[in-house]
Structure 1
Amino acid sequence: MIIENILESTVKQIIFHIESMVPQYMEIPEDRQKANGNVAVCIIEGDGTVHGKIFGENKIKGRDIFRVAWLKASQVWITGYQTGEYEQLIFTNQLQEDENGIRKPDMIGWEGGQPIYLKDGTMLSIGFSGFRGQTDLEIVKRAVEAAQTI
């Protein structure tokens, strides 16, 4: 129970730090234009417990953005690979398409989904969507680092 509470606390801290960084990234013209005021994060624990948050005022756009974040996170949760990298392995025949149960039309080729390992070795599958792919990856890495700096 204590370990679960520590993990839940860490996940909440990750989301808190992402929320604190969103305004910074919205100042970058390319990210602001792509986000159009809405971004989302989805975090899946190894046991399938899902956490997330939608940032922005437009509920319909937020719903769409969270769907993409969830697809990114769930693909990482299923495959263990970062989105974009997994597709590259499939299309270069280094992995078989049906090896993890995700068919080519259902793959998320965009960056923004990544396995993140906490200091204790726990893996979280995290999808972020709304900014440019590299920014989606960066904001999560920065938030995880901040959440574990205590």
Structure 2
Amino acid sequence: MENLTLDVQIEVALSKIEGLITEYMLVEEDLRISNGNVAICIITPDGNIYGKMYGNDKPRLRNSYRIAWTKASQVWLTGIKTGDYEKLVFNNVVDENSHGIEAPDLIGWQGGQPIFLKDDTCLSIGFSGFRGVTDLDIVTRAFENL
């Protein structure tokens, strides 16, 4: 998939996610969390934001997108996966406010991660609605080979 514009690459990944949601809905723990009402937020290095909500429960989707944005923006500020960054802060490896995020505002959950495209563009991505490990996996799978 070389020579695709960033917009096209993101659209390809968003389409892949739609298919992967069905697969993850077969996992009882993931189904129970949001019944498939999930969201993704993508922030480019220059601050452009892409997002998509999947599902029909608008209040649940609003909350899922809010969490996805919080995860993505934390990765955008830190360059580090959510969950991993919190460990660094709470173990005093990184100063609490060194990236402009105070402890009460740390997301604390997995699901935010930097994803590098083949051209080395780094996207800061947050996904919310499934278990944290699934949130990470669905994004990794959707963006592989891009």
- Give the TM interval when normalised to the shorter protein: over 0.9
Question: In structure 1, the residue corresponding to 2:73 is in which secondary structure?
Answer: helix
Number of paired residues? 144
Contact 2:34/2:60 (8 A) holds in 1: no
| Partner in structure 1 of residue 105 of structure 2 | 106
Contact 2:33/2:130 (8 A) holds in 1: yes
Supply the RMSD in Å over aligned alpha carbons: 1.2
Partners of 1:7 and 1:56 in 2: CA distance: 25
Matches within 5 A, 1:73-92: 73-92=72-91
How much identity, in percent, do the aligned residues show? 52
* 2:74 maps to 1:48: no
Partners of 1:41 and 1:13 in 2: CA distance: 14
| Partner in structure 2 of residue 97 of structure 1 | 96
| Partner in structure 2 of residue 130 of structure 1 | 129
| Partner in structure 2 of residue 10 of structure 1 | 9
Partners of 1:48 and 1:19 in 2: CA distance: 24
| Partner in structure 1 of residue 34 of structure 2 | 35
| Partner in structure 1 of residue 20 of structure 2 | 21
Partners of 1:110 and 1:119 in 2: CA distance: 27
Structure 1 spans left out of the alignment, 5+ residues = none
Partners of 1:87 and 1:40 in 2: CA distance: 22
State the AA in 2 paired with 1:80.
G
State the AA in 2 paired with 1:18.
I
Provide runs of 4+ in structure 1 moved above 2 Å. Answer: none
State the AA in 2 paired with 1:134.
V
- TM, length-normalised to structure 2: 0.95
Cα offset, 1:36, TM superposition: 2.5
Q: Deviations over 1:22-53 (max 9, x none)?
A: 11111111100012231111111011100011
Partners of 1:35 and 1:132 in 2: CA distance: 10
State the AA in 2 paired with 1:81.
I
Higher helix proportion, which one? 1
Question: In structure 2, the residue corresponding to 1:27 is in which secondary structure?
Answer: coil
Structure 2 spans left out of the alignment, 5+ residues = none
